[in-house]
Amino acid sequence: MNLEADREEIYWEQRVRVNWLKNGDRNTSYFHKIAVQRHICSQIKELERENGERISTNEDMLKFASDFFGKLFSASDLGSDEHVFGLVEKRVNDDMNNFLLQQFTEEDITYIVKTMAPLKASGIDSFSAIFF
């Protein structure tokens, strides 16, 4: 019985497809009926809030959609990310972190510039170390 139902469904899908290929893209009443039907079916008649309230006026739906997507795509302060950071293995200990947070000194910069290869450009500005 399922096989017969599947065959009948395939038959009607093929008939619709043939009708679309024959009349679909031409400027026919069939094309206009399909376009109007698609336009009617794709309209949003109402939206439902979180509390179950339904809204159907254009102004209320626009405000609700704007607020919803504004909240969805903005940063939130709901909680810490410790549950995510707990999954990452710690590689930098406290001593290493304190060293990395220190301010650069003039001696640090001089040492780095002097140890750079003189004719190699180290960055995207394409200036070599000899320039500095």
Mark residue 47 as left, alpha or beta (left: phi above 0; alpha: psi -120 to 50; beta: remaining): beta
**Residue 103: pLDDT band by 50, 70, 90 thresholds?**
very high
Which residue did the predictor score with more confidence, 26 or 18? Answer: 18
What distance in Å separates the CA atoms of residue 16 and residue 14, rounded to the nearest whole number?
5
For residue 20 the two structure tokens come to 């679309």
Q: Where are the domains of the chain?
A: 1-51
Q: Is the pTM of this model over 0.85?
A: no
